Structure 1
Amino acid sequence: MDYQYPISLDWSTQEIVDVIKFFECIEHAYEKGIERKQLMAAYRRFKEIVPSKAEEKTLCNEFEEVSRYSSYRVMKKAMASDDVTIVKM
């Protein structure tokens, strides 16, 4: 990883850690696959910190720009089916 995660200086240290964990889950989905349950838990926590769709889109676009990993595509795949256990891009 040769990039920085998009964060807000308004967040607490724990919130920053949790947002970074979500983006790490996105990375895992592309690199080796991740359990859907773990990914969904990280996304729920991310949405607690970033409830605004506009802010979510901005952060995810910034992340995709530096990493080339699409949070949108990963979450779309994860939400498409409840019977999938591993999300792999």
Structure 2
Amino acid sequence: MTEEYNYPIDVDWTTEEVIDVVQFFEAVEMAFDKGVASGVLKENYNRFKQVVPSKAEEKTLFREFKQNSGMEAYQAVKQLKDTEEDGQMIKA
């Protein structure tokens, strides 16, 4: 989280939507850094999906995030979907 890069943001989003998207990407960073509880990532991903319901737009944002950070958000989300219980740690 000490890295300096831009999160993929849409100028048409409200301030609240921007916060939801940034919090999701911060949770992804935690998954790569030290791990994140599956419940935390799930909550943030669900809010992200309310802002970005389109799978195509999600893929575009994930690609931009990877280009900016080197982290693959898809890996964290895939682990989350493969996890059966809340509380398990997701480490991408």
Whether the 8 Å CA contact 2:38–2:83 is kept in 1: the answer is: no
Paired with 1:49 and 1:81, the residues of 2 have a C-alpha distance of 23
Q: What's the counterpart of residue 86 of structure 1?
A: 89
Q: CA RMSD in A?
A: 1.0
Aligned pair partner of 1:56 in 52, 55, 58:
58
Q: What's the counterpart of residue 75 of structure 1?
A: 77
Give the structure-1-normalised TM-score: 0.96
Paired with 2:54 and 2:16, the residues of 1 have a C-alpha distance of 19
Q: Unaligned 5+ residue runs, structure 2? A: none
C-alpha displacement of 1:78: 1.2
Deviation >6 Å, runs of 4+: none
Paired with 2:7 and 2:20, the residues of 1 have a C-alpha distance of 12
Percent identical residues: 43
2:39 paired with 1:37:
yes
Give the structure-2-normalised TM-score: 0.93
Q: Unaligned 5+ residue runs, structure 1? A: none
